[in-house]
Amino acid sequence: MAELKAIEEKLREEKNTLVEMARAIYKNPEPGGKEFFAADLITGYLEEKGFKVWRGIGGLKTAFMASYGNEGFHIGYCSEYDALPEIGHGCGHNLIGIAGVAAGVALAASLNDMPGQVSIIGTPNEEDEGAKVYLVKAGVFDHVDAAMMFHPGCSNCYHVESLACRDYRFVFKGHSVHASTEPWEGRNALDGVIQTFNSINALRQHLKDDVRIHGIISEGGLAPNVIPDRAAADFIIRARDSYYLQEVVEKVVACARGAEAATGTTLEVTESGHPYDAMISNKTMADIFAESLRETGYNLESPHGTGLDSMDMGNVSRVTPSIHPMVAITNQWIPGHTHEFSTLCNSDEAYHIMLNVGQAMAITGHKILKDRELQKTILKEFSESIKSSF
């Protein structure tokens, strides 16, 4: 097809520029919310390619939307570009960001007079607060009819799901006294934290297998000879089902309340403002992506499986049909969020696969735009999935 040939030719034409952009983002790692170099680099390029760009969308300085095309079915590609502290791009966001750009530019080149709109949506700060949560709340995805992105890894999984996720901080306040001379006058805030951990550990036996509860003591006192009057713990609580997650959350908070009563301290409970929903992967779209990726010549086989994580793309999947496929950039087991994986994300092979994925996402978008019956199938599956998830 001439349109698919246009996608291939556009990416061949832009190959060096796209790789250099990904490499530049890799060499200039920026923490979430401060990705000014990456955002400026990408938006400047997209403006040169004829996209209309809106910067600072959703009240986030490094978020953006770049759109091309006319009225019709609207395809959105999510672009991430934040880095990890110290490790840099150990999660491959330099690849994720530019794969989305490549897909959008290539799909735009294939539109001609075909009805449809393509957007690249810059979604910063995925590693910390998850900007997509705020962008969803701001209505950025309300008029996007299908959204997609990819994630590099050591395994291939095109129908990716995730765990719903909520973050809590428990701050215990007690009374500080000398730990040796009059400990009976004190109220040990650290004991409240430790009792919370013990109670949660006892709770685990009575939870479903998909539940994950993990936490740290973020404040534990200042000196061993002083009864701590303040201590804090941060917990992340995850489960497949958002309703069951709420039940688990209530039990975890009850553990902390019990520790408060047992230690005579007072407890402050704070939830973060960016809970992650479980990902609802659109099977129809995922199957088309898998087929399209094979059409690009990608044939890397990996023997490794993948576990369940939490992602802010889950929130997007609740408002529009979405996919978040995992694509292997190696057949070796190299864990993400490590210096080793970061090095891999700056390799020629990784950049080659990034372009394969960008091409596959563009082909996927084109197949959807040209087929109204396929659009209806995708939207019907989305509607049914949303109903069954509540």
Looking at residue 155, which CATH number applies to its domain? 3.40.630.10
Whether residues 186 and 143 fall in one domain: no
CATH number of 226's domain: 3.30.70.360
**Burial group, residue 252, by CB count within 10 angstroms (0-12, 13-18, 19+):** buried
pLDDT at position 390 is 58
Say how far apart CA 345 and CA 350 lie, in whole Å: 6
The residue among 271, 301, 324 that closes a domain is 271
How many domains does the chain divide into? 2
Question: Same domain, yes or no, for 12 and 122?
Answer: yes
**13 and 37 fall within a common domain:** yes
Q: What is the pLDDT of residue 272?
A: 87
The reply to whether 123 and 179 lie within a common domain is no
Domain end marker among 218, 244, 271: 271
Asked whether residue 248 falls in the same domain as residue 335, the answer is no
Residues 310 and 250 in one domain: no
Amino acid 387: pLDDT? 83
3-state secondary structure 273-330: CCCECCCCECHHHHHHHHHHHHHCCCCCCCCCCCCCCCCCHHHHCCCCCEECCEEECC
Q: Which of 229, 250, 271 represents a domain boundary (last residue)? A: 271
Is 168 found in the same domain as 158? no
pLDDT at 347: 98
Q: Provide the residue range defining the domain that includes 242.
A: 164-271
State residue 273's pLDDT score.
81
Start-end of H helices in 138-263: 189-203, 242-263
Tell whether 145 and 245 lie within a shared domain.
no
Q: Which pLDDT does position 388 carry in this prediction?
A: 77
Residues 258 and 381 in one domain: no
Question: Which of the 8 DSSP states describes residue 209?
Answer: T
The answer to whether the CB of 172 falls within 8 A of the CB of 259 is yes
List the pLDDT tens digit at each of the 390 positions of the chain.
777 889 999 999 999 999 999 999 999 999 999 999 999 999 999 999 999 999 999 999 999 999 999 889 999 999 999 999 999 999 999 999 999 999 999 999 999 889 999 999 999 999 988 999 999 999 999 999 999 999 999 999 999 999 999 999 999 999 999 999 999 999 999 999 999 999 999 999 999 999 999 999 999 999 999 999 999 999 999 999 888 999 999 999 999 999 999 999 999 999 988 899 999 999 999 999 999 999 999 999 888 887 778 999 999 999 999 999 999 999 999 999 999 999 999 999 999 999 999 999 999 999 999 999 999 999 999 999 988 775
